[in-house]
Amino acid sequence: MKKTIAILLALVMAFSLFAGCGSKDSGAASGDSEYVSPSDVQPRPDGKAQPKDDTEEKKDETEPAEPETRIIVDEAGNEVEIPREINRVAITSVTPLPALFALFMGSAEKLVGIHPASKNTAMHSIVAELVPDIADVSTSFYEGSEINAEELIKLEPDVVFYFAGKEQEKELIEKAGIPAVAFDPFYDGNTGGDGNSIVKVTLEWTKFLSEIFDMPDRSAQFESFKNEIETLVAERIAGVPEAERPRSLIIANYNDSALVAGGTQSADYWIRYSGGINVGYELGNSTAPVNMEQIYEWDPDIIFLNSFSAFKADDILNSTAAEGHDWSGLKAVQNGKVYKIPLGTFYWFATTYDSPLMMLWMAMKQLPEQFEDIDFDQIVKDHYKNTYGIDLTEEQLARIYDPVPESHM
C-alpha cells in the first residue's frame, strides 16, 4: 500500500512540473528571457535584429543535389554529356593519349582499356617505369584493328576518348551507351600554322583533361618549357639562309612491306621549324607511300627514321632493312646523316610531354654548328626530373635515344 501511494505522489509531482514548464507566463513571472544565439539573428527591414526564421534552414536543406552529369564541348566541337565523377576511362585509336593521360593523372588507375599499340609502346618505353600500373590496363576490346563493342561494354567505362573525325568509332561508342569524347591529334591542320602545331596539341590536351576532370590547369609548366625551347631554336636558326639549310626527309614508317614518307603535316612542322627544308612536302598529304625511286629523286641531305618503325638507322646506312632496298647511293647515307627519332614517354614524332625536346633534337641534327654549346643530355635529364620526378640513368637515356625494335607501332 505504501508503495502504491509513493508511486501516485511521484506521478502528481511530475505532472505539476510538466504543466509549469508549459505555462506561457512562466518565463515572465520568473523574470528570465529566452536566449537567442548570434547565429540565429538576422536583420529586419528596419535594420533591427530579429531571430532567424527556421523555415530558411529547412529551405536550404531541401535544395536539389548537384547534377550527376555535366555538358562539355569536345575537340571535335560536339556537346557531350559526361558524368561529373569519372573513374573509368577507355581510350581508342588516339594512340599517343594513354601515356600522356597516365602521366597527367600520376598513374593508370583510371584507365580500364587502351589500344594495343599504345600498350605495346608503353611497355617498351620509360612509361612502364614512370607509371608501372599501365601494365594492368586491358586491350581486350580490340580485335585486330577493330573495336569489339561487347568487350568495350564489359570494361564499364564512364567515358571513352576517341580520335576526332573517326565518326564510325563515335557511333559505335554512343550505340554502346557510353559518352564519346573526341581528342584531336592535330592543331591547325598540323601544317605549321603558328609554329606550335604538335607541341600545341600536347598543351591543348593537358588543358582539356583539366576541364574534363575538373582539376586545376596543369599546363603552365609544360607551356613554359615549350616556349623556352621554341625561342631558343628560333633565335639560333633565324640567321641561316635557306640555301644553307639541309633538305630533309622523315620516313614516317618503314617495314618489310611498306615505306611511308612524311608530308605536309607533322613531318613538315618538325623539319621546317627546326631549320630544314622538307622534301616530302610535295606529297600533299600527312603521309604517303613512296618507293626508292622517289627517294633517290629527292636525294635528301638528312634522313630521319621515325620510331614507329622497328628498323634502326644502321639498317638504312648498311642497306639491311627491307629486302631489295639499296640506300647506299643517297647523299644522306654517304655522309652518315641518318638518325632514328627517339622514344621517350611516347614517340617524339607524335604528341607527348617530350615534344619540345624533339624540336631541339631535330635542330641540332640539321644545323649542329648553331648549337655547339648546348648540352642536350642535360636538358633531357632536367626535363625528366622537373616533369616526371625521375633522375634518368645513362642506360635509360640511351634507351630513349635508341628505341628497342619491339617498341614499334
Q: Tell which CATH architecture fits domain 69-185.
A: 3-Layer(aba) Sandwich (3.40)
* pLDDT tens per residue, range 69-118: 999 999 999 999 999 999 999 999 999 999 999 999 999 999 999 999 99
Q: Note the pLDDT tens digit of each residue in 115-171.
A: 999 999 999 999 999 999 999 999 999 998 899 999 999 999 999 999 999 999 999
Grid cell digits, residue 80: 557531350
pLDDT of residue 408: 84
**Helix/strand/coil for 137:** coil
At residue 242 the predicted structure's pLDDT band, cuts being 50, 70 and 90, is: very high
Asked if residue 361 has pLDDT above 70, the reply is: yes
5-63: per-residue pLDDT in tens?
333 333 333 333 333 444 333 333 333 333 233 333 343 334 444 444 555 555 455 66
Domains 69-185 and 224-407 share a fold: yes
Work out the average pLDDT over 227-238: 96
Dihedral sign, Cα of residue 57, residue 58, residue 59, residue 62: positive
Read off the pLDDT of each residue in 254-282 and give the average, rounded to a whole number.
93
Structure-block grid coordinates of residue 60: 536550404
Residue 262 has pLDDT above 60, yes or no: yes
In the prediction, which pLDDT does 53 show?
A: 52
Confidence of residue 244 (pLDDT cuts 50, 70, 90): very high
Element (H, E) at 339: strand 338-340
Q: Could you give the count of Cα atoms lying within 13 Å of 384 in the half-sphere of its Cβ?
A: 20
Residue 196: predicted pLDDT? 54
Q: Is the pLDDT of residue 291 over 70?
A: yes
The rounded distance, in Å, linking the Cα atoms of 231 and 211 is 28
What is the distance between the alpha carbons of residues 91 and 103, in angstroms, rounded to a whole number?
14
Got the DSSP string for 254-291? E-SS-EEEE-SSHHHHHHHHTT-EEGGGGG-SSEEE--
Q: What is the tens place of the pLDDT at every residue in 171-220?
A: 999 999 999 999 998 765 444 444 457 888 999 999 999 999 999 998 99
d(CA 302, CA 251): 11
Above pLDDT 90, what percent of the chain? 74
Predicted pLDDT at 61: 59
The answer on pLDDT for 66 being more than 90 is no
To the nearest whole percent, how much of the chain has pLDDT over 70? 82
Confidence of residue 382 (pLDDT cuts 50, 70, 90): very high
Homologous superfamily of 224-407 in CATH?
A: Nitrogenase molybdenum iron protein domain (3.40.50.1980)
How do strand 277-278 and strand 159-163 relate by DSSP bridges? unpaired
Question: Does pLDDT of 256 surpass 60?
Answer: yes
Residue 358 predicted with pLDDT over 60: yes
Distance of CA 305 to the CA centre of its chain: 25
* Of the candidates 272, 304, 276, the residue with the CA atom closest to the CA atom of residue 198: 272
The pLDDT of residue 271 is above 60: yes
In the chain, what are the domain boundaries? 69-185, 224-407
